[in-house]
Amino acid sequence: MIYVGTGLTNTLDIITGGGFYTAESDNETVATAEIINGTQVQVTGNTAGGSAAVTITDRFGQTASFMVEIY
Using one digit for the tens of pLDDT, what is the confidence trace for 10-67?
999 999 999 999 999 999 999 999 999 999 999 999 999 999 999 999 999 999 999 9
d(CA 6, CA 15): 26
For residue 34, the model assigns a pLDDT of 98
49 phi/psi in degrees, rounded to 5: 85, 5
The structure's pTM equals 0.95
pLDDT score at 50: 97
Residues in CB range of 24: below 8 A, 6 or more apart: 33, 54, 55, 57
Query: How much is the pLDDT for 53?
Result: 98
CA distance 33 to 39: 13
